[in-house]
Amino acid sequence: MPNHRKQRHRQHSIARHDGARRWRALLGVCLALLLVTLAIPSPAIPHSGPTRQNQAGLIVRTGPNEVVSQCVSFDEEWISGLALLERSGLPFAAVNDERYGAFICGIAGVGCPADRCLCAYPPRYWQYWLLERGGWQISPVGASSRVVRDGDVDGWIWSNGADGPVFDERFGNPCQAAADRRVYLPLVSRTSFYTNYR
């Protein structure tokens, strides 16, 4: 074989060996990177399960022995006392006063219609109560101004004045007792009572 052919054959052999060596090196680098990637722990993905809704209790006394107890859920950080009553599903009537906000006339078929909101006053009207850490007390603000947060409890009493029924330690948070409505008197349907305040 002539010298130039031998030299060309040798060059081709060296080139093939160099190419194979490069591929082996590249494959080794790729395998090393793969092993490093697998060894690094992946960041934990937070569980995106359902979040707990806020809940507030509502207790309505339409008479000495007649009580409606309700637990209302909401997504907001807080809602008004009026919104709590509205979301309870109980039919109610109210009028809006520009200075004081909503004035409740009737709840669950007891009280007065909106066009005659004080039909039983004096002495009867809807008295607004709040369950605080020290116990029940009459609310210093109206339902429109009341800020209801998770765990709060509001109460309404169809009061006949000083001698009427009150809230005491017998009335706790209905959300702690049960999530469902507990009814102690027949409820009228929403359509059979007055139009809800908006």
Residue 187's pLDDT is 42
* C-alpha to C-alpha distance for 160 and 154, rounded to whole angstroms: 19
Residue 1's pLDDT is 52
- pLDDT tens track, the chain, 198 positions: 555 554 554 555 544 555 556 656 655 654 555 554 555 554 555 555 567 899 999 999 998 889 999 999 999 999 999 999 999 999 999 999 988 899 999 999 999 999 999 999 999 999 999 999 999 999 999 999 999 999 999 999 999 877 677 899 999 999 997 544 444 444 433 333 334 433
According to the CATH classification, is domain 54-192 in 2.170.130.30?
Answer: yes
Question: What does the block give as tokens for 65?
Answer: 């022995």
Residue 107's pLDDT is 98
| Strand, coil or helix: 66 | strand
Question: What does the block give as tokens for 147?
Answer: 């800020």
Residue 177's pLDDT is 74
Residue 160's pLDDT is 87
Q: What contacts 183, CB < 8 A, 6 or more positions away?
A: 68, 69
What is the per-residue DSSP string for 75-144? Answer: SSS-EEHHHHHHHTT--EEEEEETTTEEEEEEETTEE--GGGTTTTTTT-EEEEEEEETTEEEE-SS-TT
Domain boundaries along the sequence of the chain: 1-42, 54-192
Q: What is the pTM of this model?
A: 0.66
